[in-house]
Amino acid sequence: MSESNVKRWAWAEVNLAAYANNIQSLKTLVAPSEVWAVVKANAYGHGAVPIAKSALTAGASGLCVALSGEVVELRNAGVKAPILVLSQQPYESLPILLQHAATHTVYSIEYVDELVKHAVALGVSQVPVHIKIDTGMHRVGVAPQLLTELVHHVQELSPCISLEGIYTHFANADEPEHPANNEQRRLFAESLNQLGHLSESLKIHSCNSAAAIRFPQERRSLVRVGISSYGLSPGPELTDDCRDLEPVMSLKARVSHVHVVQPGQGVSYGHRAIAEEECVVATIPIGYADGVPRKLWSEGGEVLIGGRRFPIMGVITMDQLMVNCGPVGHCQVAVGDEVVFIGKQGSEVITATDWAQALGTIAYEVTCGIGARIERQYVEVHH
Ligand SMILES: Cc1ncc(COP(=O)(O)O)c(C=O)c1O
């Protein structure tokens, strides 16, 4: 146990061997397309720097992030690979992005002009950009009918800007049969056709995890994989496809207090859980401030202790929660026992996807939600 575990009996284990295996499996699946690892949002809560380094060692060709600060963090940690920022950023952060050799996403002429202005001021002569086309996500991107004008502006009127890629993003790839997928694919292909031979010399990409797995003909130059690299399915329709990927993050804690509750006594705020019979209640020092959602209790949340499942009992508080460990006499649970919230213990397993299903959300939100107070411990466990 590390020193910080002694200080805090709650932590996340991030298995870099599992992550590297997932990247390698995805690479094999999509070859000869490249894999670019999506490490935004602190690598979906897993820790940006260790994950980014592991991705590159495992064969990823580039990284994708959402924010300028995420580029800075990776560059400061010595990451040299291309880092694509997936959206345009506030103009104020352009100097920082240029100084840290980001690959920019652009979708407006004004933004390109601003980029040129800052690049000239800083004496940066080769600024790599990818143009993002909005083929139907309706979040960010240039409208297909404005693409040729933007390409012309980048290529002919923007010194120091080097067009390296063109891409789009699917809104419904996790539902592979959704009709909007075909419409997006058609619009993307049509947009590329407008550019003629130019597109042959560029990196063309459209796939997130779900599309990379289910739309082989869309893999093109590279795929941008996030959730699958963390060993989680993009959604229920891809569960089978992701069977061989291994979840990377486990969330663990230790029992901090054990006591007996009498029949009729209430547990936690509001006494919304009332003991039906005398039972042993274990307190675990992790709460909603750490990303264990308050309503996980009412949605049937369980934990693993000693290889067995026990139900969370009562409302989850900010820093602690309680678990019903069953009748006195049968209960072996003791202070210091390991508690698994997400991960394996013995033959039992609870996944981020289980939480997502219980909570009516997606696994992405579960791992991204694991709070900053939870130390990430990096391990290499080969199965
Ligand atoms: C533009 C873009 N590409 C790729 C991804 C990765 O998606 P996934 O985690 O489903 O693989 C994301 C994530 O949201 C994204 O916003």
Are 123 and 185 part of one and the same domain? Answer: yes
Are 228 and 257 part of one and the same domain? Answer: no
Q: Is the CB of 209 under 6 A from ligand 1?
A: yes
Report pLDDT digits (tens) over 332-380. Answer: 899 999 999 999 999 999 999 999 999 999 999 999 999 999 999 999 9
pLDDT over 70 at 3, yes or no: no
Are 184 and 122 part of one and the same domain? Answer: yes
Are 217 and 276 part of one and the same domain? Answer: no
Report pLDDT digits (tens) over 7-41. Answer: 799 999 999 999 999 999 999 999 999 999 999 99
Reduce the DSSP state of residue 382 to 3 states and report it. Answer: coil
User: Is residue 369 domain-resident?
Assistant: no
User: Is residue 4 domain-resident?
Assistant: no
Give the distance (Å) from ligand 1 centre to CA of residue 261. 46
User: Is residue 291 domain-resident?
Assistant: yes
Are 77 and 223 part of one and the same domain? Answer: yes
Are 215 and 185 part of one and the same domain? Answer: yes
Q: Is the CB of 293 under 6 A from ligand 1?
A: no
CATH of the domain at 302: 2.40.37.10
Residue nearest to ligand 1 atom 13, measured at CA: 226
Q: What is the pTM for the complete model shown?
A: 0.97
Give the distance (Å) from ligand 1 centre to CA of residue 373. 25
pLDDT over 50 at 1, yes or no: no
User: Of 232, 267, 297, which residue sits at a domain end?
Assistant: 232
Q: Which position among 27, 40, 132, 203 bears the catalytic label?
A: 40
How many domains in the chain?
2
User: Is residue 381 domain-resident?
Assistant: no
Are 151 and 300 part of one and the same domain? Answer: no
Could you tell me the residue range of the domain that residue 98 belongs to?
Answer: 16-232
Are 35 and 119 part of one and the same domain? Answer: yes
- Helix 147-157, helix 179-194: angle, nearest 10: 40
Across the chain, the runs of DSSP E, i.e. the strands, are 10-15, 34-38, 62-65, 83-85, 104-106, 127-132, 161-167, 203-207, 222-225, 249-254, 257-261, 266-267, 273-274, 279-284, 302-305, 308-311, 321-324, 338-345, 348-350, 375-379
Task: Give the separation between CA 81 and CA 79, rounded to whole angstroms.
Answer: 6
User: Of 197, 232, 267, which residue sits at a domain end?
Assistant: 232
Dihedral, CA atoms, 246, 215, 188, 34, nearest 10 degrees?
Answer: 50
What average pLDDT does the chain have? 96
CATH of the domain at 137: 3.20.20.10
Are 184 and 325 part of one and the same domain? Answer: no
User: Is residue 191 domain-resident?
Assistant: yes
Q: Is the CB of 86 under 6 A from ligand 1?
A: yes
Give the distance (Å) from ligand 1 centre to CA of residue 381. 26
Q: Is 269 a catalytic residue?
A: yes
Q: Is the CB of 37 under 6 A from ligand 1?
A: no
Confidence of residue 383 (pLDDT cuts 50, 70, 90): confident
Are 303 and 172 part of one and the same domain? Answer: no
